[in-house]
Chains A and B, each alone.
Chain A
Amino acid sequence: DGGITQSPKYLFRKEGQNVTLSCEQNLNHDAMYWYRQDPGQGLRLIYYSQIVNDFQKGDIAEGYSVSREKKESFPLTVTSAQKNPTAFYLCASSPSDRTYEQYFGPGTRLTVT
């Protein structure tokens, strides 16, 4: 089946540790995105990538890092510098054609204590 996979579904970490969230897509989409979803705040863009080996900061990139070494993969690292990392993280992808929508993964809920 074509789609976006995110793993794991739930992730627990201690404060001060970096953690990497996985996102893989087999839709052959050029663009990939990471969002953070918090209650009452909607989806806020962390990073996005239009093409392999290129990515741009979104609105809340501080404390996060990404890489795009392969078209199918766009992992997100939540670093210890992120002040409030506990959240629901969503990965999405889309074709280059702007008439197309984004496709979303199931999300990863990260809890940092």
Chain B
Amino acid sequence: AQSVSQHNHHVILSEAASLELGCNYSYGGTVNLFWYVQYPGQHLQLLLKYFSGDPLVKGIKGFEAEFIKSKFSFNLRKPSVQWSDTAEYFCAVRPPGTYKYIFGTGTRLKVLA
């Protein structure tokens, strides 16, 4: 079945550690890719998105993601996390020819001060 996979369900890091969260999708064709973040008690908000062009996308709060078409991946990275990055992170895909957005199961990140 077509899907979006996030391999890390829970991640615990110390402040200043580097972060990489995996996201793989199984849709062919031209997809739009997104990373959302949900801070405790807050709305889901967009971190970054990719729809064409440079496969390395920069988002808010120092986050970036790299689209690797051959690997069907869109991994999220941050060189040095902060305690305030504690949140749940969701990868999402908008497959071609549809208004649907398909979400992964999310990764809960906890950053220790």
Indicate if A99 sits at the interface (CB-CB under 8 A): yes
- A94–B32 Cα gap in the complex (Å)? 13
Indicate if A64 sits at the interface (CB-CB under 8 A): no
Given contacts A98-B51, A99-B32, A101-B34, contact A42 B43 (CB under 8 A): no
Indicate if B7 sits at the interface (CB-CB under 8 A): no
- Residues from chain B with a CB closer than 8 A to the CB of A33 are 101
B76 to chain A, nearest CB (A): 15
Query: Which of A35, A40, A105 makes the CB contact (< 8 A) with B43?
Result: A105
- Residues from chain B with a CB closer than 8 A to the CB of A43 are 90, 92, 103, 106
Contact mask for chain A residues 37-57; partner B; CB cutoff 8 A; 1 contact, 0 none:
000111111001010000000
B41 to chain A, nearest CB (A): 9
Cβ B49 vs Cβ A40 within 8 A: no
Given contacts A45-B100, A98-B32, A98-B51, contact A104 B45 (CB under 8 A): yes
- A90–B42 Cα gap in the complex (Å)? 12
Cβ B43 vs Cβ A104 within 8 A: yes
| A-B residue pair count with CB separations less than 8 angstroms | 52
Which B-chain residue is minimally distant from A104 (CB atoms)? B44
Which A-chain residue is minimally distant from B41 (CB atoms)? A106
Contact mask for chain B residues 32-56; partner A; CB cutoff 8 A; 1 contact, 0 none:
1010100000011110010110000
**A33-B101, A43-B106, A107-B43 given; 14 more Cβ-contact pairs under 8 Å:** A31-B99, A40-B9, A40-B106, A42-B106, A43-B90, A44-B103, A45-B101, A50-B99, A58-B100, A99-B32, A99-B52, A101-B49, A104-B44, A105-B43
Enumerate 13 A-B pairs (CB-CB under 8 Å) in ascending A order: A42-B104, A42-B105, A43-B90, A43-B92, A48-B100, A98-B32, A98-B51, A99-B32, A99-B51, A99-B52, A101-B49, A102-B34, A104-B44
